[in-house]
Amino acid sequence: MNHLIKQVQLYKFLDYCNEIELEKNILDCGAGGANPPLSIFLGAGYKTYGIEISESQIKKAKSFSDKHMLELNISKGDMRKLPFQDKSISYIYS
């Protein structure tokens, strides 16, 4: 139950994104961890990108991705220096 309470904000954001007619791609800044939010967006048909500064959090996300056979596109980096062209990402989650 506690896990669902923590995810309410994520699902509200997903609903918001689905209401807007932009290309379905999203960047998560701070994308690592044992239960990466990008998996929810991938399941909803989004092209996902993640950036994470912590190597240990990337490893946790990779373990989750491998277990669930997902490709979330999470890479090591700093959200202050994003490797994307302007206006190439429709949504950003953090």
Instruction: Tell whether the model's pLDDT for residue 26 goes beyond 50.
Output: yes
Q: What are phi and psi of 15, to 5 degrees?
A: -60, -45
Give the mean pLDDT of 21-40: 95
What's the pLDDT tens digit per position in 32-52?
999 999 999 999 999 999 999
**Top-level CATH class of 2-93?**
alpha beta
Residue 6 confidence class, pLDDT cut points 50, 70, 90: low
Is the pLDDT at 54 greater than 50, yes or no?
yes
What pLDDT does 5 receive? 52
pTM above 0.75, yes or no: yes
| Domain chopping of the chain, boundaries | 2-93
Residue with tokens 């190597």: 55
Strand order in the sheet with 91-93: 74-76, 47-52, 25-29, 91-93
Query: Residues with Cβ < 8 Å from 44, sequence gap 6 or more?
Result: 14, 18, 24
2 has pLDDT over 50: no
Q: Which runs of E-coded beta strand occur in the chain?
A: 25-29, 47-52, 74-76, 91-93
